[in-house]
Each structure stands twice: as C-alpha cells, then as structure tokens.
C-alpha cells in the first residue's frame, strides 16, 4: 500500500513562521550556552568532597560506561550527557580517563529514542519487523564499537593518549590548570552567572538548575527541527538523502551537526525503512554519519570552555569514538554486515514474539546496566593513613592521608589533611593523582620504580635535579603495628648534598617512612603510625 502524502498547508509556507522558527532556534542555542556557563561555574564552587564523590563513582570504567548509558537513556539525549561531561572535566571534578567510558555509554544510550519510535509500529506485523531492525541498528553499531575500543582504552589508554596528542598539536601547547584561567572569558553571561551564584549561594542547586536548562534547550531545539522535518514527505526525504552510500553518510553527518541531535535524524529513518521507502542497507551510512555529526555539541561545549585542554580532549574522544566506528564498519564488508545482521535478526524475532522489542529496551538500557553497576561497585579501596611529622626546628605534628585507589585500573588520588581527625567539610591541603603501571608508581610528578636494587634514574622536583636509586629491598618491615612485605628503600641525592630517603610498600603502594637530611643533620622525618581500611 502506497503511503498517502500529507498536503502542506499555507501556514507551513508562511515566511513569518520560518522567521519565528529561526528566532526560537537562536534563543534555544543561547539558552544552551548560558546553561553550560552556569554549570561550569557552579561545579567549580562545589565542595571538594562532592568532587571526590563524582570521581569515586566514575573511577571504575565499567561503572562509568553504564552510568553514561543509563543517564542518556533516561534523558533520551546524548547531547545533554556529553555537555555535562565536558563541564565536569572543565571544572576539574572529572578526569579525562574517567570521562571516556561515560562518553561511550552515552553513545549507546542515545539509541533508545529510535528503538522507542520503532515500537509505534507494533500493530503492523511486517512494518514492525523492519522498524525494529532500523531502530536497533544504531544500538548494535555503537555497542560493537564500544566492545572494540573499550578494552583498548582500559588497558592501553588508546583514546586518551590520541586525544591529548591532538589537543597539544592543534589547540594548546599543554595542559592548563583550571584555577589559572578566567572561566568566563568566552561567554557573555558572566554578569548573570556571578549574580546567580551570589543570590542562590548553593552550588548544588545551581548545578541542578543548569542541567535542567541544558536539557530544556536541547529539547526545544529538537522539537523545532523535528517540526521542520515533518513538513517534508518521506519520499522527498529519501530521494534527497539516500542516493548513494557516500551521499547518505554525508547528509547524515551534516544534518545531525546542524540540528545537534542524532536522536531526531535516526528516528526519522525508522518509519522510512518500516514503509520500505529505503532498505536498512541504504539507511545504515546515514545513521553512521549522524553518529559522527552529533559530536558537534561536545565541540561547542569544549572549545568555548577555554579554561582547560582536557575539555577539548574529551570532545575529541567523542569524535574519535564515532569516527573509528565508521572506519571499521563502513568500508570493511564483513564488519559492515555485522550490525545489520544483528538488528535484522532481532527484527525477525519480533515476528514471533511481539514483546521482544519491549524486553530488548528493558534489558539493554536498564536491567543490564544497573546490574553491572551493582556488581562493579566494590572496585574502590580506601585507606586512611596517619603520619607523625618532625622538623629540625623541633616542631612536631601529625597529618592524615586519605588514599582512594581503583583496584582494577590502579589509579586514584591521595588527599592530605592536617591533624589526625577531620570532618567531611574539611578541605585537603594537598591532592596528588596516583597511578601504577608496569612496575612504576607515579605520585604527582614523582616516580618510583619497583625493580632490582641498584637501579637508578634521574628526575627533578621543587628542590632541583636529583638522582634516585633503589638502595635495598626489605623483605619484611614493621610499621604502624603492621608487617609489610617487599618494602623498597629509595635514596634520592640532590646537587646541594641534600638526601631524601623513602620507604615504600610495593604491595600496598603507600609510603611507610621518609626522611630528608643534609650534612648538618635531619631536616624532616615522617613515619606511618596508623593505617585504617574502609
């Protein structure tokens, strides 16, 4: 049965309606920019313990992946999720490595919109099969891309390393610290955002308000563009966009970049495939192009955020993830057929079981992610370390180090607090990023090797250039009432005859003792006196 074309009314051709729509689109875009500025400013005023909560929630890459998936599935907008991630990275509340899995999850979660649209054909058996195939192709394409790239990032830092290199080469000579740059230098909203921050005086409320405004701006934008697309008949749409794979890909990219929503463009494809105007093989390049085009939102959010190169890096990661997926699944015939085959098999399954589509939505976007988040929540190990500290002037005082480490990725941070006890509102005096890889421990800019005695390397810190060597390895060493195995003793010698000795547990990756001395005597000594595991 041929589809009946809907006549276009004179009101749809009215120049006044077109001008009004353009004005609304501009206002929606300005609202988007204001929401981004407000979000970044509010995040930077949050207490440090809130930032630590965000870091801990996303420090497990598996948890971050499914957090991104679930949030995007609930919002039905990857643009909102990616913009939020860019703002979190820009504010320093989220590291690049922790943000990458969330971006991957957001790419998978955004496919829920097309899947929901396909359920609208459930009353028509054959159309429903084709609609489900078209509505789930985007999901399988992004899922397979994540299956390939997630392990590469997890084990080798593939995407983070490439994105940082591109950022340094094209955008900035190096990383910029968040607190060294004016966060409002790009926007025209600094007066309004500063006024709101002073008026409300609650960063948490302002963050929630910013997220709501961000989501509202994207929702308004989507609605306006969707109304414009509905004014065109599917036949005109298909003849214009699907003539060849390259043209289909290009139009998918350009259209989605213009409207900043792959959900709209991929959802428009579903009824076109369901009604056999084009087949899924013809529509696949368009969906791939839409996947790349949607990355424009993260670039808008990141490039305008001039306060950190990490924000630009995460936008580049978003682009690389989608582009690499296209390079894998578009030119290679065997891989090109894989997501089509998977989506068509699911479509055929709906011929036998109509509820298969609903089960797919519940399992893929909610049950599976929540289950995996639950089973991966135990990856963080927290140690509370109390040290005694004595200086050459006779001054002596204890201090506390809170160590948060991800046991799967061997990354985390050390937070230094004065005294023995502190409450959740206390700000740490120092924070060091910590990571362990290939028998090497990095604490801030310091490096410790776990290899044979006599092994040496050169370095430089605030005291100047030094030569650091492994002096010996204590097989058993007692500190803070605990016996530690494999304790490395490091000797660091400076040009000014300053000597720095450090005793480090190779198993726990914590400092047990350290002493700085000169020919005149001991300058500083610190020793672990208590260790608590949370």
452 in Cβ contact with 445 (< 8 Å): no
pLDDT along the chain (534 residues), means of 10: 42 55 73 70 56 57 82 74 80 77 90 81 83 91 94 88 86 42 47 78 76 70 59 58 84 82 77 84 92 85 67 90 94 91 90 82 82 67 90 85 79 83 68 81 85 90 86 93 93 88 92 91 91 85
Structure token digits, residue 417: 């607090």
Instruction: Identify each DSSP E strand in 365-439 by its residue range.
Output: 380-391, 399-406, 411-418, 430-437
Which pLDDT does position 274 carry in this prediction? 85
Residue with tokens 């000597």: 499
CA distance 382 to 508: 11
Which pLDDT does position 342 carry in this prediction? 93
The CATH class, in words, for 380-533 is: mainly beta
CA distance 160 to 117: 34
Which pLDDT does position 453 carry in this prediction? 93
Which pLDDT does position 5 carry in this prediction? 39
CA distance 47 to 335: 47
For CA atoms 90, 95, 100, 103, give the dihedral sign. Answer: negative
Indicate yes or no: pTM above 0.85. no
List of residues 6+ apart from 100 with CB closer than 8 A: 61, 64, 153, 159, 160, 314, 317
Which pLDDT does position 268 carry in this prediction? 77
Angle between helices 61-75 and 125-156 in degrees, nearest 10: 150
CA distance 371 to 532: 30
Provide the terminal-to-terminal Cα distance of the chain, rounded to the nearest Å.
Answer: 66
221 in Cβ contact with 258 (< 8 Å): no
Which pLDDT does position 496 carry in this prediction? 76
264 in Cβ contact with 117 (< 8 Å): no
Which pLDDT does position 7 carry in this prediction? 43
Which pLDDT does position 438 carry in this prediction? 79
Domain boundaries, the chain: 19-375, 380-533
Q: What's the length of the chain?
A: 534
Structure token digits, residue 251: 């139009």
Which pLDDT does position 98 carry in this prediction? 81
Which pLDDT does position 379 carry in this prediction? 66
What DSSP line would sit under 144-200, residue for residue?
Answer: HHHHHHHHHHHHH-HHHHHHHHHHHHHT-SS---GGGS-TTSS-S-HHHHHHHHHHH
How many angstroms separate the Cα of 91 from the Cα of each of 7, 64, 72, 185?
50, 18, 21, 14
């Amino acid at each position: 049965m041929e589809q009946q074309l809907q006549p276009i009314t004179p009101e749809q051709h009215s120049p006044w309606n077109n001008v009004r729509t353009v004005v609304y689109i501009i206002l929606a875009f300005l609202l988007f920019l204001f929401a981004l500025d407000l979000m970044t400013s509010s995040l930077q005023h949050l207490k440090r313990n809130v930032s630590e909560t965000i870091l801990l929630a996303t420090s497990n890459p598996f948890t971050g992946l499914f957090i991104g998936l679930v949030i995007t599935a609930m919002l039905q907008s990857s643009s909102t999720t990616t913009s939020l991630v860019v703002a979190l990275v820009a504010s320093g509340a989220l590291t690049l490595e922790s943000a990458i899995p969330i971006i991957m999850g957001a790419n998978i979660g955004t496919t829920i919109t097309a899947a929901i649209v396909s359920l609208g054909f459930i009353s028509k058996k054959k159309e429903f099969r084709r609609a489900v195939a078209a509505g789930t192709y985007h999901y399988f394409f992004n899922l397979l891309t994540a299956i390939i790239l997630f392990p590469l990032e997890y084990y080798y830092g593939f995407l983070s390393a490439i994105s940082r290199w591109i950022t340094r080469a094209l955008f900035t000579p190096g990383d910029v610290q968040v607190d060294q740059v004016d966060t409002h230098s790009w926007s025209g909203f600094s007066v309004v955002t500063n006024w709101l921050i002073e008026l409300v005086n609650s960063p948490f409320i302002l963050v929630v308000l910013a997220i709501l405004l961000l989501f509202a701006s994207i929702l308004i934008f989507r609605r306006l563009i969707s109304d414009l697309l509905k004014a065109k008949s599917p036949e005109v749409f298909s003849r214009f966009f699907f003539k060849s794979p390259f043209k289909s890909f290009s139009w998918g990219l350009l259209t989605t970049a213009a409207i900043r929503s792959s959900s709209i463009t991929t959802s428009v494809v579903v009824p076109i495939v369901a009604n056999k105007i084009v087949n899924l093989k013809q529509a696949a390049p368009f969906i791939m192009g839409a996947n790349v085009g949607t990355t424009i939102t993260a670039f808008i959010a990141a490039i305008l955020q001039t306060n950190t190169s990490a924000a630009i890096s995460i936008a580049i990661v978003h682009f690389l993830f989608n582009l690499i997926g296209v390079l894998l699944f578009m030119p290679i015939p065997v891989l090109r057929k894989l997501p089509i085959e998977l989506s068509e098999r699911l479509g055929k399954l709906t011929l036998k079981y109509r509820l298969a589509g609903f089960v797919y939505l519940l399992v893929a976007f909610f049950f599976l992610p929540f289950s995996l988040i639950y089973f991966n929540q135990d990856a963080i190990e927290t140690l509370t370390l109390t040290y005694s500290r004595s200086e050459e002037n006779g001054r002596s005082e204890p201090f506390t180090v809170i160590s948060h480490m991800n046991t799967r990725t061997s990354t985390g941070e050390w937070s230094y607090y004065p005294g023995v006890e502190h409450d959740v509102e206390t700000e740490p005096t120092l924070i060091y990023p910590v990571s362990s890889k290939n028998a090497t421990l990095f604490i801030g800019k310091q490096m410790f090797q776990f290899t044979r005695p006599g092994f040496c390397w050169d370095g430089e810190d605030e005291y100047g250039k030094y030569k650091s060597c492994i002096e010996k390895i204590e097989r058993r060493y007692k500190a803070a009432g605990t016996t530690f195995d494999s304790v490395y003793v490091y000797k660091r010698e400076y040009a000014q005859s300053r000597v720095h000795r450090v005793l480090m547990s190779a198993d726990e990756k914590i400092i047990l003792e350290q002493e700085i001395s000169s020919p005149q005597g001991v300058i500083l000594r610190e020793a672990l006196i208590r260790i608590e595991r949370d």
